[in-house]
Structure 1
Amino acid sequence: MAATGRHRFTRKRFTAAAVALAALGGGTVYAIDSSSNKAQAAGGCAAYESVTMGKYWINNNTWGADSGKGWSCVWDSYQSGDTIGWGTNYQWSGASSSVKSYASSVLGWHWGWKSQDTGLPVKLSAKTPVKSKWSFKVKESTDSVYNVAYDLWLHDTANTDWQSTPKHEVMVWLNKDGGAGPLGTKKERVKLAGAYWDLYVGDIGWNVYSFVRVGNTTSANLNLDDFLQALVRRKLVATTDYLSSVEAGTEVFTGKAQLDTTAYSTDVG
């Protein structure tokens, strides 16, 4: 199963209606049952609703729900300045080779929706530091196939909206289990930020570059621009491209588990 993963299957583009749902959030706990489209938790809501946390928002992103049955919940834990805590739990059945949900913290662009005062977008030629700290715990329960990963979106313009197709997607996998694996072909092993990463290259209508950490971790202290500049040096992305978004969360294929983010922050500049 190491060769399978979300990106080996076509990512669904969000429709305007689905994207609109993402802006309507309220409260702190959400759940969605993909088979009935009804809220399953107290104070529930529909897919793509959000919890605003300063410059971030937590997205109950169930973009792959149609490939299985189940639910996903998100909640906020605390906010102290630019550091937040949040969590998600889930239970999904269906093909273990397709992602059902990617509950995540969003900083910047997300198919048209943007928070204020994020420092994004930034042009890669500027080599702007994108410093991120993330500590989390995974409480695995039953047959869970997942990763815990950053998802970085690049565009060829600074002016993005919901119709803006990404030019590149860059993932940084910190943790995985159950055979989850990235799209594409492994190109090389690189050393960045004091660790080794396997670099995979694929294409789903835009280029997808995945850095998969050799050995799981539950904490990160990274300059995410290091990964972008590694791609610039390999001439895979251009210095004229813009980093428009930083997301951090868990891609879930199947199973039942919980991710608790005990501390997360990303600062640009």
Structure 2
Amino acid sequence: MRSIFGLAAIASSVAAQTLTGAFDCMTSGQFTLCQNLWGASAGVGGQNSTLISTSGDSISWETKWTWANNQNNVKSYANVESSVAKGIQLSNLASAPTSWSWTYKTQSSGIRADVSYDIWLGNSANGAPASTASSFEIMIWLSGKGGIQPVGSQTTTGVSIAGHTWNLWKGPNANWEVLSFVSANGDITDFSADLNDFFTYLIDTQGVSTSMFLQAVQTGTEPFTGSADLLINSFSVTASAK
């Protein structure tokens, strides 16, 4: 759903450093934090993102945004990407445990935004997200406010995975297929799961091949309009082969 070309990675990060440039990135420990204001030209406003801390396979960070105009257009995907949860073929993936605790410190009335995983699968072990190497984009929406919808159309309701109920959306984007799990019961602010359970469901029911490789796990937020201060108290993810 987004283009990340032209990311301007900057030097190794220190805690509490704030990114302000549209495509600034910062690496710390096992994660890279990126602003990725890929849709900013569709709106008026701005955003900054701050690394708070990293420890092992966990990161804490924050993003503050204000966007107006074109309420149906995503303005950005400020996110973190794991450098270790990648490169494993689904047929050889034993587990991919993850946890995510987050909160809106502030939010304007009627914001339109999601808080979501963005997971990329492809035919090779390596491949940049949203590129010619991408075959599937797997989104997991822990929050979707203001009536926004994922790419495509809703195809399945009442999917039970990781102790929660999801509605599945499906549709094409560029050269990859988007499969989005949207929480059916509102915000999930403390989430814990094995991502392999989602992959297994897609293999069993949606034709995703076990030959696909896990190329990237990203988590962040897609704002459309409004303003908010989103705090990620902690996010972690790992992946292990059989």
Same fold judged by TM-score > 0.5? yes
**Are 1:257 and 2:223 an aligned pair?**
no
Counterpart in the other structure of 1:245: 216
Give the secondary structure class of the aligned counterpart of 2:148. Answer: coil
Q: Which runs of 5+ in 1 are unaligned?
A: 1-6, 32-45, 108-114
Q: More displaced, 163-172 or 189-198?
A: 163-172
Instruction: State the 4+ residue runs in structure 1 displaced beyond 6 angstroms.
Output: none
Considering fraction of residues, name the structure with more strand: 2
TM-score by length of 2: 0.90
Q: Which runs of 5+ in 2 are unaligned?
A: none
Which of 133, 157, 171 aligns to 2:124? It is 157
Which of 75, 80, 98 aligns to 2:73? It is 98
Counterpart in the other structure of 2:173: 204
> Cα RMSD between the aligned structures?
1.8
**Are 1:173 and 2:148 an aligned pair?**
no
Cα displacement (A) at 1:53 = 2.0
Using a 3 Å threshold, how does the CA distance of structure 1 residues 263 and 125 change in structure 2: closer, same or farther? same
Kept in 1, the 8 Å contact 2:11–2:27? The answer is: no
Kept in 1, the 8 Å contact 2:40–2:75? The answer is: yes
Q: More displaced, 259-268 or 73-82?
A: 73-82
| Cα shift readout 1:46-67 (whole Å, capped 9, x = no counterpart) | 2121222201011111011111
Distance, in Å, in 2 between the alignment partners of 1:168 and 1:132 is 20
| Cα shift readout 1:76-103 (whole Å, capped 9, x = no counterpart) | 1122322221100001112111100111
Distance, in Å, in 2 between the alignment partners of 1:264 and 1:22 is 21
Kept in 2, the 8 Å contact 1:153–1:246? The answer is: yes
| Cα shift readout 1:234-254 (whole Å, capped 9, x = no counterpart) | 142100001110001111111
Aligned residues: 233
Counterpart in the other structure of 1:125: 91
Q: More displaced, 81-90 or 21-30?
A: 21-30
Amino acid paired to 1:180: I
Amino acid paired to 1:220: F
Identity of aligned residues (%): 31
Counterpart in the other structure of 1:63: 38
